[in-house]
Amino acid sequence: MASIHLQNLEKRYGAFVGVQNMSLEIADEEFLVLLGPSGCGKTTTMRMIAGLEVPTDGKIVIGGEEVNEVDARDRDVAMVFQGYALYPNMSIYENIRFPLRMRKIPASEHDARIRQAADMVELGAFLDRKPGALSGGQRQRAALARAVVRQPQVFLMDEPLSNLDAKLRQSMRVQIKHMQRQLKVTTVYVTHDQIEAMTLADRIVIMNKGAIQQVGTPDQIYSDPANTFVAGFIGSPPMNLIEGTAQNGRFTAPGVSAPCLDHVRGKVTLGVRPEDCQVGGDNVQGMVYGVEPTGDTTYLTVRAGEKMIEVKAARDYRSDIDQPVGITFDPAHLYFFGEDGQRIRGAA
Amino acid sequence: MAKARKSRGESLLLRYLVLGGWALVCLLPILWFLSIGFRPRTEVITPRPIYWPSFSLDAWRLLISDWPIAQYLRNSVVAVAGSVVIDLALAIPAAYALARYDFKGREDIGFYILSTRMMAPAIVAVPIFFLFKTLGLLNSVWALMLIYAAINLSLVTWIIRSYMLDIPKELEDAARTDGAGDLTILREIIVPACLPGIITAAVIAAIFAINEFLFTLLIASTSKAYTMSVALANFTGGSDGIIYNAIALVSFIAFVPILILVILIQKHLSRGLTMGAVKG
Average pLDDT along chain B: 84
Q: Any idea which fold A239-337 has? A: OB fold (Dihydrolipoamide Acetyltransferase, E2P) (2.40.50)
Note the pLDDT tens digit of each residue in B203-224.
Answer: 889 988 988 888 998 888 887 8
In B32-166, the DSSP E strands lie at none
- Residue B121, judged by CB atoms within 10 A of its CB (0-12, 13-18, 19+), counts as middle
Shortest CA distance from B195: residue in chain A: A89
Q: Which of residues 16-55 of A touch B (CB under 8 A)?
A: 47, 50-52
Nearest chain B CA: its distance from A105 CA (Å) = 11
Mutate to test the interface with B, among A81, A94, A100, A148 (most CBs of B within 10 A): A81
Give the C-alpha distances (Å, rounded to integers) separating B206 from B21, B74, B210, B276: 29, 14, 6, 19
Nearest chain B CA: its distance from A160 CA (Å) = 12
> What confidence score (pLDDT) does residue B238 get?
62
Who among B168, B173, B178 is closest to A99 (CB)?
B178
Task: Answer whether residue B41 shows pLDDT above 90.
Answer: no
Who among A77, A79, A88 is closest to B193 (CB)?
A88
> What confidence score (pLDDT) does residue B239 get?
67
Who among A52, A81, A102 is closest to B179 (CB)?
A102
Show residues of chain A in contact with B194, CB under 8 Å.
none
Nearest chain B CA: its distance from A278 CA (Å) = 48
Note the pLDDT tens digit of each residue in B223-251.
Answer: 788 888 888 877 776 667 777 888 888 88
What share of residues in chain A are helix, strand, coil (percent, to 5)?
30, 35, 35
Q: Do B177 and A74 touch (CB under 8 A)?
A: no
**N- to C-terminal Cα separation, chain A:** 42
Buried b (16+ CB within 10 A) or exposed e, B211-223: ebebbbebbbeee
Position B200 confidence tier, pLDDT thresholds 50, 70, 90: confident
> What confidence score (pLDDT) does residue B279 get?
34
Residues of chain A with pLDDT under 50: 347-348
Report yes or no: B276 and B166 within 8 Å, Cβ to Cβ. Answer: yes
> What confidence score (pLDDT) does residue B273 get?
53
The full set of domain ranges for chain A reads: 4-229, 239-337
A232 touches chain B (CB under 8 A): no
Who among A52, A83, A150 is closest to B168 (CB)?
A83
> What confidence score (pLDDT) does residue A347 get?
45
Question: Strand, helix or coil at A13?
Answer: strand
Q: Using alpha carbons only, what angle is made at residue B214 by residues B208 and B217, rounded to the nearest 5 degrees?
A: 115
B98 touches chain A (CB under 8 A): no
Report yes or no: A171 and A204 within 8 Å, Cβ to Cβ. Answer: no
> What confidence score (pLDDT) does residue A52 get?
93
Show residues of chain B in contact with A73, CB under 8 Å.
176-181
Of A238 and B277, the one with more pLDDT:
A238
Shortest CA distance from B173: residue in chain A: A52
Angle between helices A107-120 and A136-148 in degrees, nearest 10 = 140
Q: Which of residues 161-180 of B touch A (CB under 8 A)?
A: 168, 170-171, 173-180
Position B5 confidence tier, pLDDT thresholds 50, 70, 90: low
Which of A249, A311, A254, A259 is CA-nearest to residue A280? A311
> What confidence score (pLDDT) does residue A292 get?
95
Who among B174, B192, B193 is closest to A81 (CB)?
B174
> What confidence score (pLDDT) does residue B6 get?
59
Show residues of chain A in contact with B178, CB under 8 Å.
73, 78, 98-99, 102, 146, 150
Position B270 confidence tier, pLDDT thresholds 50, 70, 90: low
Shortest CA distance from B177: residue in chain A: A73
Q: Do B175 and A87 touch (CB under 8 A)?
A: yes
Note the pLDDT tens digit of each residue in B140-172.
Answer: 999 999 999 999 999 999 999 998 998 888 999
> What confidence score (pLDDT) does residue B277 get?
39
> What confidence score (pLDDT) does residue B180 get?
92
Q: Which CATH number fits domain A4-229: 3.40.50.1820, 3.40.50.2300, 3.30.420.40, 3.40.50.300?
A: 3.40.50.300
Q: A203 Cβ partners below 8 Å, 6+ apart? A: A30, A31, A32, A33, A215, A216, A217
Show residues of chain A in contact with B175, CB under 8 Å.
87, 98, 102
Q: Any idea which fold B67-278 has? A: MetI-like fold (1.10.3720)
Task: Answer whether residue B275 shows pLDDT above 80.
Answer: no
Show residues of chain B in contact with A72, CB under 8 Å.
173, 176-177
Q: Do B176 and A73 touch (CB under 8 A)?
A: yes
Q: Do A52 and B180 touch (CB under 8 A)?
A: no
